[in-house]
A and B are shown apart, each in its own frame.
Chain A
Amino acid sequence: MRELELYFGPQHLGMVGNFSITLKVEGDRILEATANPGYLHRGFEKLMEGRSWIKNFPMVCRINLVDPDHMEMIYAMGVEKLAGIEVPERAQFVRSIYLELARVSSHLFGLWAYANMLGFDTVSNWAMYHRDLVLDLFEELTGGRVYHIYVWPGGVRRDFPEGFTDRMVSTLHSIGGCVPDYDTTFFNNKLFSERARGVGVVSREEALAMGGVGQVIRATGMKYDVRKVDPYAAYDRVPWEVHTRDDGDAYSRICVVRDEMIESVHMIFNLIDAMPEGDVYNRVPNPLKWKIPAGEAYVRCESSRGELGLYLVSDGGEKPHRVHFRTPSYAHGLAILEKTLVGANIADVGNIMMSMYVVAPEIDR
């Protein structure tokens, strides 16, 4: 049979985001896949070297639009570590709640993309609707819907508004009430499970060798979550579980996402109960002349797609000397995806890619 080169993206219905994969196919079977990032390269890391510490804060979130909050968090953590800034206890709880909301919102967005890719339009519309409800909460808390620009060095930008906790709980309850619907229509639906089981299998060894994190590694049965292994914010103050599956296929990955969403909601309820009173912001020095002592810091957190890292170097000046992000999609979208696609069907490219939740802007930062 004749080999054919097939361009999957960037202008392709199955491609979410500015990303492309060049496939070498024989009939319906993929012989080789080459990921082509770069369509969204904006040079963030270089841009950040030219801006003061505070001016970078509204920008980092833009590296990843589906989960901007963990970008803010990691930058704040990096700056706090370098500058030795203490964060008030209440702010740690607010940050955790905020980040878990972000995880729910991001997973719902991912579910939208995934279900949409497989033709489950009803589910994808639900996911989008429920995400919008979470965005309403973000809007109320931060004033922005997509880019919240909320977690900054020293704490968070504003405390919860009056009555916010109650509205958050009620919104999360109403979303949680729809889980059975999601289950019957999607996760337990044979039309879906048959489609996703055994597809895009990544073994634990492969995943570890290629830098897999997040749901990719947890779908292979490994209980690895930065929130547990290197706790930050208030994640070690409340009980919660790391959810895993064993098969390492697309179905396991999306089920890990489902369980994580539910766990996040439970965690938010626990955090609200344990949240102390107090300040949520320790004022940073005058940002117009803020200099951070020379040094380097590596910080990491668990974004909605897995371990997110930031390497930050200061030369003692008013701007970062070097910034580098370790983003989960970089490993998932390049190495693991290229490897996993080999032998798969063309129809499963989107399926596999979105089950790993590859977000292109994160690769091109």
Chain B
Amino acid sequence: MSKRGFLNSLSVGKHLFGKPKTTCYPFTPKEPALRYRGFHLNDWDTCTGCGNCAEICPNDAIEMIEIAELESVPGMKNERPRLDYGRCCFCGLCVDICPPGSLRLSRDYFHTHFDTDTFVFTPRDDKADQEKFVPDESYSVLKASLSHRKRNYEGFSSDLDYALFEPERVPMPEIPPTERKLSFVEQVIGYSKEEAVHEAARCLGCGLCEDACPAHMKISDYILAVYNDEPEESLRKIYEDNPIPAICGRLCMKHCEDACALRLRGEPVAIRWLKRFVSDSIRDYKTVLEQAPGQPTGKKVGVVGAGPGGLSVAYFLRLMGHEVVVFDELEGGGGMIRVGPPRYRLPLASIDKDVDYIASLGVDFRFNTRVGKDVSFEGLRQEFDAVYLGVGLTKSRSTGVDNSEKCGLALDFLRKNKTDRPTAVTKEIVVIGGGNVAMDVAREALRLQQIQHPGEKTVTRMVSLEDWDEMPATSEEIEETREEGIEFNPAWGPKKVLLDDGGNVKGLLCMKVKSVFDDEGRFAPTFREDEEMVLEGTMIIEAIGQGPDFSFVPEGEFEKMEFTAMRKVSVDEDGMTSLPGVFAGGDIVNINLDAVTAIADAKIASEGIHRWMQSK
């Protein structure tokens, strides 16, 4: 650059004749960029109230407030974020952590008001709040404020590729379908320590799952302990609410995962598998938990059934210092859990691990003892200060179609395979039903076929009234069943069991289902009589549901027992039936029909039993 005279600089005077560059805002409008980080928008329909936005806000500008008009349901709290625009720095971390992606930033950025309270603001979007969001034609920048905003003016919004949470879970190592169907080896291998810590790291700790869990387990806490590589602490947290982690870690119906905030745009945290990891990684519960029965109270409780409910009630009451005796007709603990779930899902060793710990606390288990046969129900009521019924649903239902007496029943089939010699199966089997038990039966039958007829062509068919989308079994179970090559026939109903000349089963005549439920959602299947098909099979197993067996209750007493409209045993808030001192829980009481709800019932009943015995 050579030194030149200053006169040259006057040449830029040419710009005097150009178009002015200055934008005369607001008269010349200037649109913010599409990614502009302005005021918040929140879609109240998808917001779960998880509060992760408030958790990550670097300025504590977000507070979760309860919205009276919203209802809290599992997986969705009635809380919504409230912003303090005196603190917000518009960084958008709240947007990137929002699991459902409901919280976004808009391109509005004007708010002028003499009242500072208006800067504290609960964002909603134009869907929910039409009044505050005006269409382009009525929008005026001179009126712009938090209550006068443009419609469809979304700016910086969530993008799953850049989200701060991990939408995909650590895959659970499993034995492949072709291999696992050849034996009863446990299908799920389980997480290694690294995998478990990695999976636990995904949990945002919002606690939506805890509200959804019937037993209200401290899920965030025990997952945090796994993340911190403290499985012992995790086990202690689990045992505060659930004394059968090895069982629940394998076959819990995981209401928690259905409520997980991450499920909305990804996979929920594998809460169940993490619980399994904790129980599996600790060899001896006793040294970790260091629990002891409470001070002896001199009270005695009899528990009928050593299923999840019975085990839990025994555990909680024993910790309170009561003497507990558990009766069960089987040779070990677990109740229907011991009989129903096949070994590839729940090995007996896992059940025994949980049961043995409870027994080690001093609970007296009397196995191979059937109440109503070996001991009388009335005798129990006299001997014990309180009795808990956790008997579950032990009787398989039958379709009742012609020749149905020739069919096998699901629970008999499963029980025999577990407790006796395995059933001899034929090469063609038809399983009737679309629930989880039906899937268990079909998959167990398939394995027996592979073992008993190695190298031969075998067929396992399923037929269910429900179509794919209505099938009561979990999608996970249906998927695994299909992977193993079991044939599905959804939306077909059994009409008649076909017999050959020798009176042996040769197939099932089915008719097409028109609808399964009536307009009010009640079970009332209707069929197309003209559309029929025959499913060939030399063995048919009915797995269409189970019912309770109250034959152990003397008739006079049974009449005094009250039932609900759903044919469930009616209990009060303490879990007590209409028979004084007789408490009940589990499948005979609740409609969830799963282990964790039985534990929840047991928790309530154990408190109730404790209060009842103290008051006597």
| A→B interface (CB under 8 Å) | 51, 54-59, 122, 129, 136, 139-144, 147, 149, 157-158, 161, 181, 183-191, 193, 255, 279, 281, 283-289
- Would you mind naming 8 contact pairs between A and B with Cβ atoms under 8 Å apart? A136-B33, A140-B33, A140-B35, A143-B155, A183-B1, A184-B4, A189-B8, A283-B163
Chain B neighbourhood of A158, CB < 8 A: 35, 159, 162
A139-B33, A190-B5, A286-B201 given; A144·B58 CB < 8 A: no
A59-B58, A288-B55 given; A139·B36 CB < 8 A: yes
Instruction: Judge whether B56 and A190 touch: CB under 8 Å.
Output: no
Contact with A along B165-200 (1 / 0, CB 8 A): 110000000000000000000000000000000000
Instruction: Judge whether A188 and B3 touch: CB under 8 Å.
Output: yes
| B→A interface (CB under 8 Å) | 1-6, 8-9, 11-12, 15, 21-22, 32-37, 52, 55-56, 58, 89-93, 96-97, 105, 155-156, 159, 161-166, 201-205, 224, 227
* A187 contact from B1, B11, B96, B97, Cβ within 8 A: B1
Chain A neighbourhood of B58, CB < 8 A: 51, 55-56, 58-59
Chain B neighbourhood of A183, CB < 8 A: 1
Expressed in whole angstroms, the Cα–Cα distance for A139 and B89 within the complex equals: 15
Instruction: Judge whether A143 and B36 touch: CB under 8 Å.
Output: yes
Chain A neighbourhood of B6, CB < 8 A: 189-191
Chain A neighbourhood of B91, CB < 8 A: 57-58, 147, 149
Expressed in whole angstroms, the Cα–Cα distance for A303 and B22 within the complex equals: 30
Chain A neighbourhood of B5, CB < 8 A: 190
Closest 5 CB pairs of A and B: A58-B91, A55-B58, A143-B35, A143-B37, A140-B33
Chain A neighbourhood of B163, CB < 8 A: 283
Chain B neighbourhood of A184, CB < 8 A: 4, 8-9, 11-12
From DSSP, what is the main secondary structure of chain A's interface residues?
Answer: helix
In whole Å, how far is A364's beta carbon from the nearest beta carbon of chain B? 19
Chain A neighbourhood of B36, CB < 8 A: 139, 143
Expressed in whole angstroms, the Cα–Cα distance for A51 and B55 within the complex equals: 12
Chain B neighbourhood of A187, CB < 8 A: 1
Of all chain B residues, which has the CB nearest A56?
A: B58
* B224 contact from A59, A283, A285, A289, Cβ within 8 A: A289
Chain B neighbourhood of A58, CB < 8 A: 58, 89, 91, 93
* B92 contact from A140, A149, A185, A281, Cβ within 8 A: A149
Of all chain B residues, which has the CB nearest A137?
A: B33
Instruction: Judge whether B9 and A185 touch: CB under 8 Å.
Output: yes
**Knowing that A55-B93, A286-B165, A287-B56 are A-B contacts, what are 17 other residue pairs whose CB atoms are under 8 Å apart, sorted by A's residue number?**
A57-B91, A58-B89, A139-B36, A140-B34, A143-B35, A147-B89, A181-B12, A184-B4, A188-B1, A188-B3, A188-B4, A190-B3, A190-B5, A279-B161, A285-B201, A288-B56, A289-B227
A158-B162, A287-B56 given; A188·B93 CB < 8 A: no
Instruction: Judge whether A289 and B201 touch: CB under 8 Å.
Output: yes
Instruction: Judge whether B34 and A157 touch: CB under 8 Å.
Output: no
Chain B neighbourhood of A57, CB < 8 A: 91, 93
Instruction: Judge whether A143 and B92 touch: CB under 8 Å.
Output: yes
A158-B159, A189-B8 given; A54·B56 CB < 8 A: yes
Which of B12, B36, B52, B165 has most A Cβ within 10 Å? B12
Expressed in whole angstroms, the Cα–Cα distance for A142 and B204 within the complex equals: 26
Instruction: Judge whether B56 and A55 touch: CB under 8 Å.
Output: yes
Which of B2, B37, B202 has most A Cβ within 10 Å? B37
Instruction: Judge whether B162 and A161 touch: CB under 8 Å.
Output: no
Which of B4, B6, B96 has most A Cβ within 10 Å? B6
Instruction: Judge whether A281 and B90 touch: CB under 8 Å.
Output: no
Chain B neighbourhood of A255, CB < 8 A: 1
Instruction: Judge whether B162 and A157 touch: CB under 8 Å.
Output: yes
Chain B neighbourhood of A285, CB < 8 A: 201
Expressed in whole angstroms, the Cα–Cα distance for A42 and B303 within the complex equals: 66
A139-B36, A190-B4 given; A287·B164 CB < 8 A: yes
Expressed in whole angstroms, the Cα–Cα distance for A187 and B12 within the complex equals: 14
Expressed in whole angstroms, the Cα–Cα distance for A139 and B156 within the complex equals: 11
Chain B neighbourhood of A190, CB < 8 A: 3-6
Chain A neighbourhood of B90, CB < 8 A: 144
Instruction: Judge whether B202 and A286 touch: CB under 8 Å.
Output: yes
Expressed in whole angstroms, the Cα–Cα distance for A285 and B201 within the complex equals: 7
Chain B neighbourhood of A284, CB < 8 A: 164
Chain B neighbourhood of A279, CB < 8 A: 161
Expressed in whole angstroms, the Cα–Cα distance for A122 and B155 within the complex equals: 35
Instruction: Judge whether A139 and B159 touch: CB under 8 Å.
Output: no
Expressed in whole angstroms, the Cα–Cα distance for A187 and B9 within the complex equals: 10
Instruction: Judge whether B166 and A286 touch: CB under 8 Å.
Output: yes
Of all chain B residues, which has the CB nearest A251?
A: B1
Of all chain A residues, which has the CB nearest B227?
A: A289
Chain A neighbourhood of B161, CB < 8 A: 279, 281
In whole Å, how far is A281's beta carbon from the nearest beta carbon of chain B? 5
Which of B2, B5, B6, B9 has most A Cβ within 10 Å? B9
In whole Å, how far is B243's beta carbon from the nearest beta carbon of chain A? 28
Expressed in whole angstroms, the Cα–Cα distance for A294 and B12 within the complex equals: 59
Expressed in whole angstroms, the Cα–Cα distance for A284 and B9 within the complex equals: 53
Expressed in whole angstroms, the Cα–Cα distance for A147 and B91 within the complex equals: 9
Instruction: Judge whether B9 and A144 touch: CB under 8 Å.
Output: no
Chain B neighbourhood of A55, CB < 8 A: 56, 58, 93
Chain B neighbourhood of A51, CB < 8 A: 58
Chain A neighbourhood of B34, CB < 8 A: 140, 161
Chain B neighbourhood of A193, CB < 8 A: 3
Of all chain A residues, which has the CB nearest B23?
A: A132
